[in-house]
A and B are shown apart, each in its own frame.
Chain A
């Protein structure tokens, strides 16, 4: 046990650097040690390949021989000559611009319905959430291709009322719509988040508004939406990013072709074709980085405009 004089002496002198480091390591060293597996995984499996793909995007790499440096050649081709890239961008943007708003609208709508104490709300919640758990899987995509195929479930149902439907999944005008429906069907996960957000809105606000004579619609517009804005923002950014990255559904439903006539050529599917079907991994790496920039721009715009419409509780606005 240190005597009083010793403690006083120690407090007066500044602790040496070595002591400080040693103290820090002792405190958080074990933490880093436990983090080590994840850190190794991050550097080796995520950061490393990301940097490698940045390097590869400046090369011609056919997967079988060593990469050859071409500088900005890939990017130049992408911006000036690649027609299919234009198709891919068009398809992906259309998909995102349709599926994200519809998905969020469905999520919010159903969250509001479930928010009123419905009997057995737990069962409804689980049922609506289930598609978003399974939806991104290969099995569901295969099923979707069947359901919307020439003799699939949808056409069989239409036939009972006498409508002869086309093969939705292999018709260039409708194939993308089936994928949008598949995306919107997975509204469960943003719905759960909206439910949590709705629960946080104080009920007395609604009561006060009702007493003042505000209609349900006005209450929604003036109370629910503004107070839910952070959650909407969160879901919007997340779903947009996911929409841009979509791959499995397009791959399975189009049989890997992005067809018919590139109508389901999602950006990541085009990237995959270039990398693995056409032996152009260097170009595909360039495409991957272009996608990163596109998503970053969207996210930045979302964050930038957020201060005009997203109100956080602790900002006293």
Chain B
């Protein structure tokens, strides 16, 4: 038996339902002054960053809302947020992407804050310049780093090998050592992870030949033969049994530190950036150390000191002053940097560096020593990457996989990638 509502009863029902749902939604609008911060990282960096955030919240009472993702997911997440005009106030930026985001008006220019909220008097001018796009400052470098070959020091000691002078050793030296030790390595461990799809390694390869990944005007900075040599070199190492076989290596597809070949005990040598040493060490029981990328015999220095990451501010940030204050805290505050230390790289702020030197662990001292050595043998910072450069890095993996799974020869694979790269860069 249905009951008919009178008009009054019905109106009352609707009104009360609306009121209840309105009450429920006010919670979402309750946010007062708060700053959102997003970064990519690893477990160690996440812990340090969250500790700094807690310290800041205690000291100033401003609420800070953190967000963090792995490297692969980070840029897709950021792009989605940018599309929704919902970028966090402070964004950890990479040298490759800062140009894309700045030129698309997604980042706020920081020039007005320098000298006021951003106390950058002690900041290294070269490092500061690395965050400039088209003459304006869009990001502050959170630390300098450079590429490295990381290796398991304990295992190296056990097979009785001494590494030669890092600034002088060559690809041939590297291979020779590999052939000597490959049968003495523990079960399942290969000499080196395969770097056929590692773009920073490709970059040093090109720089050693006096070329570069990209030119100033955004075209490819090398010839297809250089790329073919690179692929041939790594395929050769794979065939000689110095790198894990194709299917084992390609398990490292998601770029997470926890699944890299060296951390999972499958290779003696791996590739990381110098600031990742501390986090990497925390994931491994054996002691690890870093050394420079092997050189090309008779070539030029391949490495350079790059800003490991930059801290930028979103153009759509609702409270830029609060965001700038938090940015300053991260970059210059001594207590904050005692927590962050050099996990993100060696700070460009001289006063921070001085404070930190005394409290560093042996692993961290390794990083500083390493950068001192590298600084004697570096080339200049490369020009900013062009638009679509991110896509080129992504495309390198399937291109290399086709070679390592022997679907194409290194020469053919190089030609295909080269043609694709030219097309990608030319694409709108």
Contact = CB atoms under 8 A, between A and B. Distances in A.
A119 B1 CA distance: 42
A278 B388 contact: yes
Interface in B242-284: 246-248, 250-251, 253-255
B334 to A, nearest CB: 36
B179 interface: no
A170 B253 CA distance: 8
B390 interface: yes
Interface string B383-394: 000001011001
Contact of B247 (A171, A255, A257): A171
Interface residues of B, number: 35
A260 B250 contact: yes
Contacts of B73: 256
Nearest to A30: B10
Given A30-B10, A172-B405, A63 B80 contact: yes
Contacts of A14: none
A254 B253 contact: yes
Contact of A170 (B79, B100, B251): B251
Interface in A1-36: 30, 33
A272 B394 CA distance: 14
B76 A277 contact: yes
A281 B83 contact: yes
Nearest to B87: A64
B25 interface: no
A283 to B, nearest CB: 10
Interface stretch (B59-67, B169-177, B395-403): B395-403
Contacts of B79: 63-64, 276-277, 279
B390 A278 contact: yes
B72 interface: yes
A65 B79 CA distance: 11
Contacts of B255: 255
Interface string B67-109: 0000011011001101100000000000000001100111000
A167 interface: yes
Interface residues of A, number: 30
A116 to B, nearest CB: 44
Contacts of A261: 398, 401-402, 405, 407
A259 B401 contact: yes
A281 B251 CA distance: 29
Contacts of B401: 172, 259-261
Interface in A250-271: 254-257, 259-262
Contacts of B397: 257, 259
Given A150-B251, A276-B80, A281-B83, A62 B405 contact: no
Contacts of B101: 64
Contact of A64 (B83, B246, B428): B83
A60 interface: yes
Contacts of B390: 277-278
A176 interface: no
Contacts of A179: none
Given A63-B83, A64-B79, A167-B251, 16 more contacts: A62-B104, A63-B79, A64-B105, A170-B251, A170-B253, A256-B73, A257-B397, A257-B398, A259-B397, A260-B246, A260-B398, A261-B401, A277-B75, A277-B76, A277-B391, A278-B394
